[in-house]
Amino acid sequence: MSKTVKEKKGTLVMGVIGYDSHVIGNRILEYAFRKKGFNVTNLGIFASQKDFINAAIEADADAILVGSLYGHAELDCKGFREKCIEAGIGDIILYIGGNLAVGEKKWEEVEKTFLDLGFNRVFPPQTLPNDVIECLEQDIKIKE
């Protein structure tokens, strides 16, 4: 089935992983993505890896955007890419952002941790919605 013009912009599944209740950044990003014309499924807070993957399959998503603020991102995201592969969506674009560091870790170290877990891009705190949108536009274009 051919995609509509709106669908061509990209379909996103987003949410906040684990037992994390920080929702403000998630809501701001959702607003910005929708305004730019992306199709968005927002799982909100308390989303599990399985929730993200099931929603991505259902929506035929281009990208999964994982948020984490409370300091448990590494633990919550272990095996995420492997589970995508098992579910048949191994090549999906995976982003993570929020407050991913615990303690005094340097950003380069934090970024490497999540790249090694299979995320395509890792965003630091204070990331602006437009920075994420630019990356999505590039990465979704490359994938098509």
Per CB under 6 A, residues contacting ligand B12 are 19-26, 28-29, 65-67, 69-71, 95-99, 102, 123, 125, 127-129, 132
- The token duo for 25 is 């950044």
Residue in 96, 93, 89 with CA at minimum distance from that of residue 17? 96
72 labelled catalytic: no
Centre a 10 Å sphere on the Cβ of residue 76 and count the other Cβ atoms it contains: 19
For the CB of residue 59, give the shortest distance to ligand B12 in the complex, in Å. 16
Residue in 91, 99, 92 with CA at minimum distance from that of residue 122? 99
For the CB of residue 122, give the shortest distance to ligand B12 in the complex, in Å. 8
| Rounded CA separation 36/41 (Å) | 14
Burial of 80 (0-12, 13-18, 19+ CB in 10 A): buried
| Rounded CA separation 24/34 (Å) | 16
Q: In this complex, which beta carbon is closest to ligand B12, that of residue 25 or of residue 54? A: 25
| Rounded CA separation 14/17 (Å) | 9
Q: In this complex, which beta carbon is closest to ligand B12, that of residue 127 or of residue 142? A: 127
For the CB of residue 5, give the shortest distance to ligand B12 in the complex, in Å. 25
For the CB of residue 119, give the shortest distance to ligand B12 in the complex, in Å. 9
Q: In this complex, which beta carbon is closest to ligand B12, that of residue 10 or of residue 98? A: 98
The catalytic residues are: 20, 22
